[in-house]
Amino acid sequence: MKILRILAACAILVSFCACEKKTENKVPRQQITSDGSNDYKFMFREEIEKDKKDNKTGNPDAFK
């Protein structure tokens, strides 16, 4: 009976150690407008900033 308790405790400990924490999908507050819709410029802000930078510098390789 003692061995069964030890095995059960080990199984519980192993099950807690084996589980990975899942990352949460978080949306920036600025992305959601007051009416509950999404402002998509926040989703693609890195791409928009890169495009603006390329347009300012006149990057000739923009279409490669």
Range of the domain at 51: 29-58
Distance CA 32, CA 39 (A): 6
Q: 10 Å Cβ neighbour count for 1? A: 5
Number of domains forming the structure of the chain: 1
Is 17 inside a domain boundary?
A: no
pLDDT tens for 9-54 read: 888 887 777 667 777 777 777 777 778 777 777 777 778 888 888 7
Is 20 inside a domain boundary?
A: no
* pTM exceeds cut of 0.85: no
Is 47 inside a domain boundary?
A: yes
Is 23 inside a domain boundary?
A: no
